[in-house]
Structure 1
Amino acid sequence: MFDILMYLFENLVHSESEFRVDHDELTDELIRAGFHHDEIYKALAWVEKLAALQETEAKPYLSKVTVPDSTRIYTHEEQMRLDTQCRGFIVFLEQVKVLDISTREMVIDRTMEIESNEFCLEDLKWVILMVLFNVPGKEWAYEQMEDLLFEEHDGPLH
């Protein structure tokens, strides 16, 4: 499923082509690219849920009380998906104002919906980029994240 998300982002969204394509056309294109039906439907549902998260005033991913400058406690399931390096990177992005409480929770929500046995920091970076791309008003944060993703750095970032 993550491979399909990457394909969609790189070939449709990131290339600045029209993303509002016909669902059947998009499915056919993904099948031609070698992806399986069930994985395509899961990936498209993931993208639709991401769009729905930023289009609604309701914030189900913020159902618990969150206070600015509070510490995010991860559930056991979240800790299994997001290792220490991933969680540290999320904290770093909050500290440099790339992520705020809302976008952080969107990232965690979307990360938890990815069906993958292996999830690493590079995967998380792509999820963050996809989330920021889809949230209006986060252009600066998206650019900062894009720089972090594509630039080579010497030494640790955080």
Structure 2
Amino acid sequence: MFEVLVFVYENYWRGDACPELQQLERKLNAHGFEPDEIHQALDWLDGLNFAAQSAEFDDAAAPAPQSSHGMRVYSVAEQDHLGAQCLGFISFLETAGVLPPALREIVVDRAMAVPGDPVAVDDLKIIILMAYWSTGREPDALVLDELCDDTTGRLPH
């Protein structure tokens, strides 16, 4: 499914540029993706579209780090499904001020819709890119670098 999502992200730079799901399905079939992967990705994208349309963003203000007066508490199911690495990565992006609460909720919702426990961090990065994509928001260069860069060769300082 994630290969299909990456293809959609790379070929349709914004969510509003993406064709309707039926037309997208035909294009994905023409590119040789497996029908099961296509249907799973289209169901996931349909949920993403719904979540993005339901989200309320404060466009007047730039995204700010999580308020010291509020805190997101993850349910046991979310903790189990997302795992410590994904929760840590989400927290990192929130603390950096690049993942506002509305976008975080889209990410968590869509991550919970992915099969397998726990979700891989690389898969979460694709989910985050797709959340930005679906809302028409452009991640800044540092966020894009963090989401797209292979960190396996990095050495901590």
Confirm or deny a common fold (TM above 0.5).
yes
Structure 2 unaligned residues grouped into runs of 5+: 58-65
Deviation at 1:22, TM superposition (A): 4.7
Amino acid corresponding to residue 132 of structure 1 in structure 2: Y
Shift in alpha-carbon separation, 1:22–1:100, aligned structure 2, 3 A: closer
Number of equivalent positions: 146
Structure 1 regions of 5+ residues with no counterpart? Answer: 60-66
Percent same amino acid among aligned pairs? 32
> Partners in 1 of 2:4 and 2:150 — Cα distance?
25
SS class of match (1:78): helix
- In the other structure, the counterpart of 2:74 is 74
The normalised TM-score by structure 1 is 0.73
Alpha-carbon distance in 2 for matches of 1:135, 1:57 = 9
Cα drift, residue 4 of structure 1: 1.9
TM-align CA RMSD:
3.0
> Matched residues in 1 for 2:16 and 2:101: separation?
30
Superposed counterparts of 1:47-126, under 5 Å: 47-56=45-54, 68-69=67-68, 70-116=70-116, 119-126=119-126
Alpha-carbon deviation of 1:118?
A: 6.0
Distance 1:20 1:84, change over 3 A: closer
Residue 42 of structure 1: CA displacement? Answer: 2.7
* Counterpart residue type for residue 12 of structure 2: V
- Please give the residue correspondences for 1:29-44 in structure 2 after superposition, counting only pairs within 5 Å: 29-44=27-42
In structure 2, C-alpha distance between the alignment counterparts of 1:7 and 1:143, rounded to whole Å? 20
Question: In 2 relative to 1, CA 35–135 (structure 1 residues): closer, same or farther, beyond 3 Å?
Answer: same
Deviation per residue, 1:79-126 (Å, 9 max, x gap) = 222121111111110011110111111100011112245631111111
**CA displacement, residues 134-156 of structure 1 (integer Å, 9 cap, x when unaligned):** 224x43x4543212123466445
Aligned partners of 1:88, 1:118: CA distance in 2, in Å?
A: 13
Q: TM-score, normalised by structure 2?
A: 0.74
SS at the partner of 1:83?
helix
Task: Answer yes or no: is the 8 Å Cα contact 1:2–1:115 preserved in 2.
Answer: no
Residues 30 and 40 of structure 1 are in contact (CA less than 8 Å); yes or no, is this contact kept in structure 2? yes
Do the aligned partners of 1:125 and 1:149 also contact (CA within 8 Å) in 2? Answer: yes
- The one-letter amino acid of 2:47's match is K
Match of 2:5 in 1: 5
Match of 1:25 in 2: 23
**Quick one: structure 1 residues 142 and 108, their matched pair in 2 at CA, closer, same or farther if it must change by over 3 Å?**
farther
- Considering Cα pairs closer than 8 Å and 6+ residues apart, tell me whether 1 or 2 has the greater RCO: 2
CA pair 19-120 structure 1, distance change in 2 beyond 3 A:
same
